[in-house]
């Protein structure tokens, strides 16, 4: 096998491992968060999000300290959280990150894990819109047809939830806001990574530290301080055990999300998230014994089909552009 082929195989193996890791960690995180948001008597979604960003920032800080104490065993990139350049580069991304995890938690609070897929299925649509508005990239007619298919699948899923009497207006709104935030976050992550020399640990450390600070006023505005002070299970070991597990999951999902965007693209990350959510829906329906109609299931597969077609078309377009650029360079 030639060196070039070995390099290509190694690249595909790395991408497969990163995407697989993202799927496992992301699905686990959703189920843990659903337990925290719906299965314990505590109405504090911002506190749960804050606990996850704080634990992630703490893990990064511990590794940073270990790298200073044992530089031969641990490595951590240089990053000054309060440097003006760092703040300007990462704060906009942190605001999007905070919005994403806050709306995700609120969507999950008001909906079932099964509906969560439909509620968040508009990410690709927002990705098309913002790619045009921010990057100036136009979308082909074929891709627009795929987007129409996704929107139809979304509408059908929402309609079936409404007919079943299980549609939450708050969950519906926060699902759309979550899709919007995720799309913007994916685009901006790709733009911000080079500013920290592609260092995922540096970006994760700064992003989660800033997000923790941003979530504090949101927690206060949401009236969660009173909710926490009156919560009877606050000093129960089980509560803090599941908070810790949620925090570890939050750290892992943030790390794998950035890793997936770095190894692939914002588009691939969004599509991977959509396909993952389909598998998550099947698992959730089985786990919670949640029976759905045939049309409801059809809506899921329509969204998946539209997303898959969109991905394939974009992949062909990118390969075509790559060959054209290679031909231009050779000339």
Predicted confidence (pLDDT) per residue in 101-122, tens digit? 889 888 888 887 777 667 767 8
pLDDT grade, residue 211 (50/70/90)?
A: very high
Query: CA-to-CA distance for 50 and 75, rounded, in angstroms?
Result: 26
Listing DSSP states for 39-95 in one string gives: SSS---HHHHHHHHHHHHHHHHHHHHHHHHH-TTT-------TT-HHHHHHHHHHHH
Start-to-end CA span in the chain (Å): 29
How confident is residue 131, by pLDDT bands cut at 50, 70 and 90? confident
* pTM (predicted TM-score): 0.78
Residues 11-58: pLDDT tens digits?
Answer: 777 778 888 888 888 888 888 888 887 777 778 889 988 998 999 899
Per-residue tokens: 169? 């207006």
Rounded to 5°, the CA angle 71-74-77 comes to 85
Token pair in block for residue 191:
């733009």
Please compute the mean of the pLDDT values over residues 304-308 and round it to a whole number: 82
- The secondary structure of 202-228 as a DSSP string is HHHHHHHHHHHHHHHHHHHHTTHHHHH
Tell me if 187 sits within 8 A of 266, measured CB to CB: yes
The owner of tokens 């649509």 is 125
Q: How many C-beta neighbours within 10 Å does residue 6 have?
A: 10
Residues 167 and 157: their CA atoms lie apart, in Å, by 10
CA 87 vs CA 54, 79, 139, 211: distances in Å: 18, 11, 33, 12
Give the tens place of pLDDT for each residue, 147-189: 899 889 888 888 888 887 777 888 888 888 988 998 888 888 8
């Amino acid at each position: 096998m030639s060196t070039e082929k070995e390099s290509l195989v190694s690249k595909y193996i790395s991408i497969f491992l990163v995407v697989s890791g993202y799927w496992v960690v992301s699905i686990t995180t959703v189920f843990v968060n659903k337990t925290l948001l719906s299965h314990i008597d505590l109405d504090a979604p911002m506190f749960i999000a804050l606990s996850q960003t704080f634990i992630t920032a703490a893990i990064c800080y511990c590794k940073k300290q270990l790298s200073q104490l044992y530089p031969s065993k641990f490595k951590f990139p240089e990053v000054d959280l309060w440097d003006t350049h760092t703040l300007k580069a990462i704060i906009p991304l942190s605001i999007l990150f905070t919005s994403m995890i806050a709306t995700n938690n609120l969507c999950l609070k008001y909906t079932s894990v099964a509906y969560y897929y439909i509620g968040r299925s508009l990410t690709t649509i927002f990705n098309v819109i913002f790619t045009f508005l921010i990057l100036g990239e136009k979308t082909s007619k074929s891709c627009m047809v795929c987007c129409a298919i996704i929107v139809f699948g979304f509408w059908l899923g929402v309609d079936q939830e409404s007919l079943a009497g299980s549609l939450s207006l708050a969950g519906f709104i926060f699902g759309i806001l979550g899709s919007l935030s995720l799309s913007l976050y994916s685009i901006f992550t790709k733009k911000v990574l080079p500013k920290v020399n592609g260092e995922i640990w540096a970006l994760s450390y700064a992003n989660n530290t800033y997000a923790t600070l941003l979530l504090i006023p949101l927690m206060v505005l949401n009236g969660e301080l009173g909710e926490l002070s009156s919560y009877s299970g606050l000093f129960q070991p089980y509560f803090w055990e599941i908070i810790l597990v949620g925090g570890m999951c939050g750290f892992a999902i943030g790390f794998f999300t950035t890793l997936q965007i770095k190894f692939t693209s914002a588009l691939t990350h969004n599509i991977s998230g959509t396909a993952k959510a389909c598998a998550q829906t099947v698992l959730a329906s089985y786990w919670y014994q949640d029976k759905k109609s045939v049309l409801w299931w059809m809506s899921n597969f329509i969204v998946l089909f539209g997303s898959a077609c969109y991905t394939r078309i974009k992949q062909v377009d990118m390969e075509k552009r790559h060959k054209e650029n290679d031909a231009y360079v050779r000339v």
